[in-house]
Structures are given as C-alpha cells and as structure tokens.
Amino acid sequence: MIQNSRRRERIIAALIDGLVLIPIMLPFVGLIHFGLKFHFVSNTANLVIGFLYYVFYVYSNQTTIGKKNQRLMIHSHDGFRISYQ
C-alpha cells in the first residue's frame, strides 16, 4: 500500500541529498575563481552531475540516497514504477 510521506521526511531527505551532492560539485564551483572561461565548464559539470543523480540514479533505484535513508520511494501517480514515457 502506498502512503504519502510527511513533509519532515521529505525535507530531511532533501538535506541529505544536498550533503551528498555538495562535495561532488564543490570542486567545479571552485573553477569559477580561475577566470571567466571556466564558468561554462563549471556550470556544465554541475548540470551533468545533477542530471545523472536525479534522473539516472532515481530511474534505476526509484529513490535518492536521502529518500532511501528516510525509507521513501518515488513512484508514478498510479503507483507503478517510474519510467521515461
């Protein structure tokens, strides 16, 4: 049976996801201080990392690391596994 999650659980999961992604993205943000030409590299790298985490990881596991910690799952409106369609 599918139950709705509480707001507190979702907030904690989002904070955990942020703590997971910040150390991965931080070195690329540091590239910005070396000059304007690295803005594109930094933004592109962070976009790719976020895309991989929130699209491919969620699609294959139906959860993020933070949601897994809070025992939450992502599913479609009708309760089935999420898909690209």
pLDDT digits (tens, 9 = 90+) for 31-84: 777 766 778 888 888 899 999 998 888 888 889 999 999 988 888 877 788 777
Angstrom distance (rounded) from CA 70 to CA 83: 22
Measure Cα distances from 3 to 50, 74, 75, 81 in Å. 27, 11, 11, 15
The H or E element that residue 16 is part of is helix 7-30
pTM for the predicted model, two decimal places? 0.76
Which has the minimum average pLDDT: 5-9, 18-22, 63-67, 80-84?
Answer: 80-84
